[in-house]
Structure 1
């Protein structure tokens, strides 16, 4: 895994600027709702980490373990059913002994109770993994973090691919290397005949709530932070 090159940084900077501009417009149009990913559903689940060998130097990825999590499947734009949209998967992982009920009752921002993992429908190849791509459904296209994390041995991307409606495999990769599966995310299916509800107060922020051992690059913070701030102000 290598340090991001200028050619890898440029698409992310351009994408970040486009996203920030879009969020400002959406926030002005619907200030009482989530300007980003307004349509979604919240699901409880279990993240089963079976470890990675050889590892990347991050215990969260390298070591086996399991966590009860809260996840939100969503549409980035909120288009009507049947139309391609940018789908998102957000996962809130408790840290330091916190429980899922604690996070739902009092989601801490910028604290130590949880880490947020945010993925959107992207490509899977060396170039397409940096491109946000619409999909017909939540499970029909791979998802990635789009922006790399600063791993101890170089840049790290996290991706997910659904292998069933409520089962996604999580994988890691460098900027151009192959993906390596390190975990399975099992989401609870809604009761038959019911639709899983959304939670408009549940917030996710990949800048404030970083994964343990995988901080954001400073340039990623500069690109992403304005969009998150705009979204928070719009909701409040």
Structure 2
């Protein structure tokens, strides 16, 4: 067995057993828009435009039970880019958001409004490291961490997220406003029906933007590959 198999095989087997992605197995896929709020050229090269987003539960607990909350979105390819740009965030952090450890610390939540979504890894761009985080600013009706609540919120006027960026250990500043306004997946508790997207922030990124550090990005790439192979086996 190759060294890479030590990472790939467990994720492949786990996805095959579940017949779906190993992490964030259930979620709501939706069309939406992203509006850049930062001045042009400041920070990450995020541009305004249509996006495809997904709100998910990290483990896939049933109903409204607590879980890790996930937020992912795909932006259209930049000019001359080979792929679209995927950003994946998950609920994280306790205490001061400036503390690097809090940007790395996964945190389960009991409601969507409570979640502070973090990139967990900084993005390297033009020699600087940038963190991304987001918060839901239009709370849907209903308690707990139910995906039905998310789907209903999208249908009833849409959901909006405040997206921020921070350079190094600096303060977070506004980056963009993300809105989800039309759910397009199958049942909110499963991606087994309807349209699905395999978000991958390692393979799908913008020119001159990479996850950092390199060794962790490579491990993450192997994990995503294993999960895709496990799902594709069915």
TM-score tier after normalising by the smaller chain length: 0.7 to 0.9
Match of 1:146 among 95, 101, 120: 120
Match of 2:61 among 76, 79, 82: 79
Question: For residues 188 and 196 of structure 1, what CA distance do their matches in structure 2 show?
Answer: 18
Counterparts of 1:141-220 in structure 2 under 5 Å? Answer: 141-165=115-139, 166-188=159-181, 198=191, 199=194, 201-217=196-212, 218-220=214-216
Counterparts of 1:91-102 in structure 2 under 5 Å? Answer: 91-96=73-78
Contact 2:90 2:119 in 1 (8 A): yes
180-189 or 196-205, larger mean C-alpha shift: 196-205
| 2:203 counterpart of 1:229 | no
State the Cα distance separating 1:132 from its structure 2 match.
1.1
State the Cα distance separating 1:114 from its structure 2 match.
0.8
| 2:37 counterpart of 1:66 | no
State the Cα distance separating 1:125 from its structure 2 match.
4.1
141-150 or 129-138, larger mean C-alpha shift: 129-138
1:201-225 Cα deviation digits (max 9, x unpaired):
4111010001343222322322211
Contact 1:42 1:196 in 2 (8 A): no
Return 5+ residue gaps in structure 1 as ranges.
Answer: 1-18, 99-110
Q: 1:77 to 1:141 in 2, by over 3 A?
A: same
Question: For residues 13 and 113 of structure 2, what CA distance do their matches in structure 1 show?
Answer: 28
Tell me the C-alpha RMSD between the 2 structures: 2.9
Match of 2:37 among 9, 33, 50: 50
State the Cα distance separating 1:128 from its structure 2 match.
1.1
State the Cα distance separating 1:22 from its structure 2 match.
7.3
* TM-score, length-scaled by structure 1: 0.73
* TM-score, length-scaled by structure 2: 0.74
Identify the residue that residue 92 of structure 2 maps to in structure 1: 122
State the Cα distance separating 1:73 from its structure 2 match.
0.7
Match of 1:38 among 22, 25, 32: 25
Question: For residues 215 and 122 of structure 2, what CA distance do their matches in structure 1 show?
Answer: 10
Question: For residues 125 and 79 of structure 2, what CA distance do their matches in structure 1 show?
Answer: 24
Larger RCO, structure (CA 8 Å, separation 6 or more): 2
Return 5+ residue gaps in structure 2 as ranges.
Answer: 1-6, 140-158
Contact 1:23 1:36 in 2 (8 A): no
